Amino acid sequence: MKYRLMLTSLLVVAGYSLKAQKINLPAIFSAAEAQTKVMLQEIPKANAGKPELVTPRTLENGQLKMVASKDWTSGFFPGVLWFLEEYTGKPEWKKEAEVFTANIEKEKLNGGTHDMGFKIYCSFGTGYRLTKDPHYKDVIIQSARTLSTRFNKTIGIIRSWDHSRDKWGFPVIIDNMMNLELLFAATKLTGDSSFYRIAVTHANTTMKNHFRPDYSSYHVVDYDTLTGNVVKKTTHQGYANESAWSRGQAWGVYGYTMCYRETKNRAYLAQAEHIADYILGHPNMPKDLVPYWDFNAPNIPNEPRDVSAAAVIASGLYELSLYSSKSKKYRTAADKILESLSTPAYTSPVGANKGFILMHSTGSKPSNSEVDVPLNYADYYYLEALLRSKKLKEKKLW
């Protein structure tokens, strides 16, 4: 009896009702605020003497790992701060968000990476949505110009990586779908349709070459720059070339849903629905809808989960439910994911994990990198999903 009472107490603190299986948004955001205050206290200790380290990314050997602005994850913690400001309206969160957002502004000129959307749109983009700061608008536009330099007209796609040239000639990863929102935003802010055309062309080429007949996605597709032909289809973070890396599937459903929002091209809506149905109908999807790091990992159920993939999927499904005839199915699944993530099984106790909100994400299992740890992008998409859930209940759009 004592154990049962303790367990019930823990679930209530986490904002999870055993009876109704609903999330308690005020309790969750209160805990998120408390955790982020812990994070803000830990950051000066972690980057002492290293001013170039500006963003907390994960835990490494139990210690807070900070990264420089050039890291692909640098925009997520500023985004978390903006989400806290959005939910609470507290000036203190806006102040912190402005500080951490400013720390990565120089990335607007970094043409050596495709991750401009992750870095800039999750920070400056979220900030601009909430504040309409004209400086943020300028940063978004310049970042889109920089990202556009990576577009190859012959292939019709934006190059992802410049590293590992011994492996690939012109690699494109499914993650790159997430950077297109920055380009769509730039067209709306400037009236320059070139950004829009690049985004659409990239989405079309990816839809043609990245997906199998069952709508699972390859991670990396390598192209010939002279002919535009596909050279090979491989993986870098998945279990195998022909496996379905969970976060890759998440990027796909989120990315094509966003593309439908921006274009109203029903081919993108259909693609997003197919990907969502693949994810939700997969026989290896656990009952709590928090996927293993790869749907085809060999030792399921004894494989790490990927909470970051679950958070991205939930956020994408909420938006997809706005447009799809299968709205109830997708919203119910997204609710279930958030209910699962909001239990003690996946949520950090207040004061633990150096201030990260969620636990049990997987960065790159094949490299044994960031396995079963908190990750800043899991926290970002979790809060985004929670806010989208709230807006849907209030019948508001974002």
- Binding positions for substrate are 115, 175, 235, 247, 251, 364, 367
- Whether residue 162 contacts residue 112, with contact meaning beta carbons closer than 8 Å, is answered with yes
Active-site residue flag, 175: yes
Q: What is the 3-state secondary structure (H, E, C) of the chain?
A: CHHHHHHHHHHHHCCECCCCCCECHHHHHHHHHHHHHHHHHHHHHHCCCCCCEEEEEEEECCEEEEEECCCCCCCHHHHHHHHHHHHHCCHHHHHHHHHHHHCCHHHHHCCCCCCHHHHHHHHHHHHHHHHCCHHHHHHHHHHHHHHHCCEECCCCEECCCCCCCCCCCCEEEHHHHHHHHHHHHHHHHHCCHHHHHHHHHHHHHHHHHCECCCCCECCEEEECCCCCCEEEEECCCCCCCCCCEHHHHHHHHHHHHHHHHHHCCHHHHHHHHHHHHHHHHCCCCCCCCCCECECCCCCCCCCCECHHHHHHHHHHHHHHHHHCCCHHHHHHHHHHHHHHHCCCCCECCCCCHHHCCECCEEEECCCCEEEEECEHHHHHHHHHHHHHHHHHHCCCCC
Catalytic (active site) residue 115: yes
Which of 196, 310, 327 shows the shortest CA–CA distance to 272?
Answer: 327
Query: CA 344 → CA 118, 369, 388, distances in Å?
Result: 28, 24, 22
Kindly name the residue from 175, 294, 306, 335 that is annotated as catalytic: 175
* Residue showing tokens 């408390």: 34
Q: Which residues are catalytic?
A: 115, 175
